Amino acid sequence: MIKISCLLAAIGLVQLLSTPLLAQTEIELYPGRIPNAIEAENQETSEKGSVRNVSKPTLTAFLPPAGTANGAAVIVCPGGGYGGLVIEREGYRVAKELNKSGIAAFVLKYRLPSDRIMKDKAIGPLQDAQQAIKTVRERAKEWQIDPAKIGIMGFSAGGHLASTAGTHYDSTFIDNPQKTSLRPDFMILVYPVISFEGKIGHKGSSANLLGASPSTERVNYFSNDLQVTAATPPAYLTHAGDDTVVPVSNSIRFYEALNAKGVAADMHIYSQGLHGYPKTPSFDEWFGRCLHWMRTSGFIPGN
Helix, strand, coil percentages (3-state) for the chain, rounded to 5, are 35, 20, 50
List the CATH number of the domain containing 227: 3.40.50.1820
* 1 domain-assigned: no
Q: Answer whether residue 7 is part of any domain.
A: no
Residue 282 in any domain: the answer is yes
- Is residue 12 a part of any domain in this protein? no
112 neighbors 163 (Cβ within 8 angstroms): no
- pLDDT tens digits, residue range 70-109? 999 999 999 999 999 999 999 999 999 999 999 999 999 9
Per-chain mean pLDDT for the chain: 93
Residues of the chain with pLDDT under 70: 1-23, 303
For position 19, what pLDDT does the model report?
A: 35
Peptide bond into 281 cis (omega under 30): yes
138, 175 contact by CB (below 8 A)? no
Q: How many domains does the chain have?
A: 1
- Looking at the DSSP bridge assignments, the partners of residue 236 are 188, 266
Q: How far is 168 from 202, CA to CA, in rounded Å?
A: 20
Q: For residue 117, what are the domain limits? A: 22-296
Please report whether residue 101 resides in a domain: yes
This prediction has a pTM of 0.92
